[in-house]
Amino acid sequence: MSPHDFKRRLVSGETLVAIGAHNGLSARLGEEAGFECLWASGLEISASRGMPDANIITFSEMADAVRNIVESVSIPVIVDADSGYGNAINVIRTVQELEHAGAAGLCLEDNVFPKRNSFYADVTRDIVDAREHVSKIKAAVYARKSEDFVVIARTEGFIVGLGVDEVLERAHAYADAGADAVLVHSKIDNPSEIYAFSARWDREVPLVAVPTTYNSVTVEELRAHGYTMCIFANHGIRSFVSRAREILRQLRESGSASTVEPQLCTLGDLFGLVGFADLKRREVEFLG
């Protein structure tokens, strides 16, 4: 799917489902599984470097990861760009670099810098004044070279305890500033907050949901409540950690690779994922 097709489908209200990715291999697994697009996740990319999701990794590191993801797949990549790595002027550079890297769009959240992951417990939280985030959205729209580059505005209003009226006020301002979609985040274990929001949403701008904590809902249920894009933002890396931890424990305890071999992908499967067949064809063509 081209960036043009992605934006067309997004704004027309077609259902889109994204999976989080942090490198080329995780991106290819997401594409192989049939997801329409990828979410270059700040949490996943930070965690893959052994860092917390708190703007510890630099924008250069993030951009490098995005390039790796984009170059590994043929489906669109939306970048979790946190709060834009600074003010509205910084956002201009952020958009330029990510668009140049081949991303199909980015998401900007109204967290303060440095951000804290929305699900971290017992941390002080605050969000910026809505006017500041409006300036970032306007800067992002200004900076993009192609109209197909998607700008998603994300509000953390529910995360910091705001009511639906205040969250709606923010989202309206972000949509009016030119956002192509609005992501409404929530950390409670049911979708009541985001459903209360969508019931009163009166813009044509599509809505995006991230069902991490309210994980019993389905894509179809979200769509029925007005959310046409769903992001499974961190399930890739969490699945890797869960399975790798258990398999490595078994391997250490047994002392024999045969114990865990049935649980592993074959080497042939791995070679296929990383393009070994293409390498062989190129060797024949160019090396004789």
Q: 0.85 cut: is pTM over it?
A: yes
| Residue at token pair 């062989």 | 280
How high is the pLDDT of residue 2? 85
3-state secondary structure of 273: helix
How high is the pLDDT of residue 204? 95
Q: Is the dihedral of CA 175, 176, 177, 178 positive or negative?
A: positive
5 is catalytic: no
- Architecture of the CATH domain 3-240: Alpha-Beta Barrel (3.20)
**Of 5, 53, 189, 269, catalytic:** 53
How high is the pLDDT of residue 58? 96
How many CB atoms within 10 Å of residue 177?
20
Domain boundaries along the sequence of the chain = 3-240, 258-287
How high is the pLDDT of residue 123? 81
57 phi and psi angles, rounded to 5 deg: -75, 150
Q: What is the mean pLDDT of each run of 10 residues along the chain (288 residues)?
A: 90 95 98 98 97 94 98 98 97 98 98 87 89 99 98 98 98 98 98 98 97 98 98 98 98 97 96 92 89
